[in-house]
Structures are given as C-alpha cells and as structure tokens.
C-alpha cells in the first residue's frame, strides 16, 4: 500500500505543482490521468525520491519515503517520461551495467536476472543490438526491463505509451498488466485508453489537485443518462457553449460532433450518448476549469 497525505510542492518560482494531495494506492495497477502540466510528473518524481516535496508525507509498506529515500529506492522500479540510454551499447550490456548499479553484484545471479528480463520483455532476439537501433516500443520495453531489476514492489511508469504505434502500445500494455499482478504499479498518463484498458483504480489530477478518484466502472456509471451528443456546423459551437456544458468536440465526416452534460434531455436535437472513461475525464477537466475561472 502506498499512502500519500497532504502532499504539496511549490517550486522556487512560486508555481504550486501539487496542492494537498491525498491518495491511497493498493497493490495492482493504478491509473493517474491528467493533462500536460497537471502535476503528474512532479508527483511521480516525489514518490520516486527524485525531489523533496514542500510538505506532506509518503509512506510505502511502512517506509517513510521522504525521511528514508534510500530504503525506498531498494524496492523501487521507475520508468520516467524521458528515459536516456547509451545508444551504442547493446541491450544485453546496458542491462548488465544497470544491474551492477542496482547492487546485483554476483556474476551468476546478475546473468540470470538480465537474461530473464530480456525474455520477459520480448527483447531476447535483439539483445546484442545497439539501443540506437531500437524502435520506440522496444526502447520502452527495455525501460521496463531496467525498472524490474531487483524485483521491485513499487513500479512507476510516466507517460509510457506516448508516441508508440498501436501494435507496440498493445505489446507494452500487455507486459505492464503481467507485471502489475503482484506489485503496486502507478501508470501516469494523459491517454485515457491506457487507464481504461489496465487499471481497476484511478484518479484524475488537474491543476495539482486530485479531482476524482475511484474505479473506472463506478465513475462511468455516475454519468449514465447525463451525456448527450449532436452534430453541428462549426460556427454554431460558440453559441452552444453559452447554453450548455460542452465537455468535448470531435470532427466527424467534416462536421463537428459535440458532447455535453445535462441532467435532463436538453432538446435542440441532442441524443443520448453512452458515456465512457473519456467522458468522465473531460467532464472532470471541465469542472476544474470552471472552478479555476471562479477563483480567478
């Protein structure tokens, strides 16, 4: 169990990246959804002991993460958004080097660990290939391999599928799901489908605050009968925004498909829309923008 209480981080320039975050994350996959700039990476770096928050606490399985970061690092796997490697080194040699850095000193144990992880991440056939020649998906799978050295109990992955093609994305998510059966895995992303595919629990972070938390199914059920859609001409959109709570727009066959929330049939030609996690996400962000506008 990862318990976060009252976590706040204010940068030197006055930006409040995290604002009194409370979260309890059990074993398994946990999705952290939020737009760019929401504070997701700041939260991940704080949990990963890469920066010290301004205030609050982080406790993982009895470890005070802020007071004893070295103890947490011994049981942590981390794949950051920007994962750097030595491009001319092979996957085998690079993973062996990282295993040494993580304290796997005994040669036989290290060899077994490296070979097992290369097989697990489906990189065995390219183990002698330089990392510079890896595709984006292969690099991400290598990133998971290095994060799994030492059998971590807490795994953090930050925007792992951004830029991957559909096949590599599916391969990576299947690997992550396999890993997430036995450890705490935090998946930080702005891609709604990643969370809906993998995570039994999730939260939405916006403007440094947790705006919503629960299971995807429960959160979607709350919107039953409240999402409506209509195809309009683009010039109608501004007028429509003045009358309804628009949560999303999408181009469809050259026209604009608009989605709104309303407790009752709004008329004007709108028809019911089946809500999904995307509707939950957009509705939450729209409410956060309204609160920010009122506060300003």
Q: Phi first, then psi: what are they for 121, rounded to 5°?
A: -95, 10
CA nearest to 25, candidates 197, 185, 166: 185
Phi first, then psi: give them for residue 93, nearest 5 degrees. -70, -35
Closest CA to 252 of 275, 237, 230: 230
* 185 has a pLDDT exceeding 80: yes
Tell me the two tokens of residue 175: 């690997």
2-215 CATH: 3.40.50.300
| Size of the chain in residues | 296
Please state, in angstroms and rounded to a whole number, the distance separating the CA atoms of residues 53 and 37. 17
- Does residue 293 surpass a pLDDT of 80? no
Quick one: pLDDT at residue 163?
A: 78
Q: Which residues contact 275 (CB under 8 A, 6 or more apart)?
A: 220, 223, 224, 226, 227
Q: Is the pTM of this model over 0.85?
A: yes
**pLDDT-derived band at 80, boundaries 50, 70, 90:** confident
Q: What pLDDT was estimated at residue 78?
A: 92
Residue 84 has pLDDT above 90, yes or no: no
Residue closest to 223 by CA, chosen among 281, 275, 270, 260: 275
Predicted local distance difference test score (pLDDT) of residue 39: 93
Contact 257, 251 (CB under 8 A): yes
Backbone φ and ψ of 210, nearest 5°: -75, 115
187 by DSSP, 3-state: which?
Answer: strand
DSSP, res 104:
-
Please check the confidence at residue 116 and state whether its pLDDT lies above 80.
yes
pLDDT tens track for 226-252: 999 999 988 888 999 889 999 999 888
> In this predicted model, what pLDDT tens digit does every residue of 40-79 receive, in sequence order?
999 999 999 999 999 999 999 999 999 999 999 999 999 9
Q: How far from the centroid of its chain's Cα atoms is residue 291's Cα?
A: 24
Instruction: Find where tokens 């995570």 sit.
Output: 199
Average pLDDT over residues 268-287: 94
Q: What is the tens place of the pLDDT at every residue in 125-174?
A: 999 999 999 988 888 899 999 999 989 999 999 888 877 888 888 888 88
Residue spans of the domains in the chain: they are 2-215, 221-295
Taking the CA atoms of residue 199, residue 204, residue 208 and residue 210 in that order, the dihedral angle to the nearest 10 degrees is: -100
């Amino acid at each position: 169990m990862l318990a976060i209480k009252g976590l706040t981080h204010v940068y030197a320039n006055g930006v409040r990246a995290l604002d009194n975050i409370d979260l309890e994350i059990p074993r398994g996959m946990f999705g952290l959804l939020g737009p760019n700039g929401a504070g997701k990476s700041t939260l991940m770096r704080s949990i990963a002991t890469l920066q010290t928050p301004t205030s609050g606490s982080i406790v993982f399985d009895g470890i005070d993460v802020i007071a004893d970061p070295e103890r947490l690092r011994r049981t942590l796997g981390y794949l950051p958004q920007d994962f750097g490697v030595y491009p001319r080194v092979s996957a085998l040699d690079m993973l062996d080097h990282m295993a040494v850095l993580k304290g796997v000193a005994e040669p036989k144990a290290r060899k077994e660990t490296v070979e097992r992880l290369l097989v697990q991440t489906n990189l065995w056939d390219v183990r002698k290939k330089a990392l510079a020649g890896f595709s984006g998906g292969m690099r991400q799978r290598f990133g998971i391999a290095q994060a799994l050295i030492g059998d971590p109990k807490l795994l953090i992955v930050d925007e792992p599928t951004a830029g991957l093609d559909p096949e590599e994305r599916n391969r990576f998510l299947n690997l992550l799901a396999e890993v997430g059966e036995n450890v705490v895995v935090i998946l930080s992303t702005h891609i709604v489908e990643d969370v809906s595919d993998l995570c039994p629990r999730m939260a939405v972070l916006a403007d440094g605050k947790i705006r919503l938390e629960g299971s995807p199914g429960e959160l979607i059920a709350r919107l039953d009968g409240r999402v409506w859609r209509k195809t309009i001409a683009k010039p109608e959109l501004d007028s429509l925004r003045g009358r309804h709570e628009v949560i999303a727009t999408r181009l469809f066959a050259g026209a604009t498909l608009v989605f709104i929330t309303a407790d009752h049939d709004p008329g004007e030609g709108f028809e019911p829309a089946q809500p999904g996690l995307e509707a939950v996400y957009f509705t939450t962000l729209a409410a956060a923008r309204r609160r920010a506008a009122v506060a300003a």
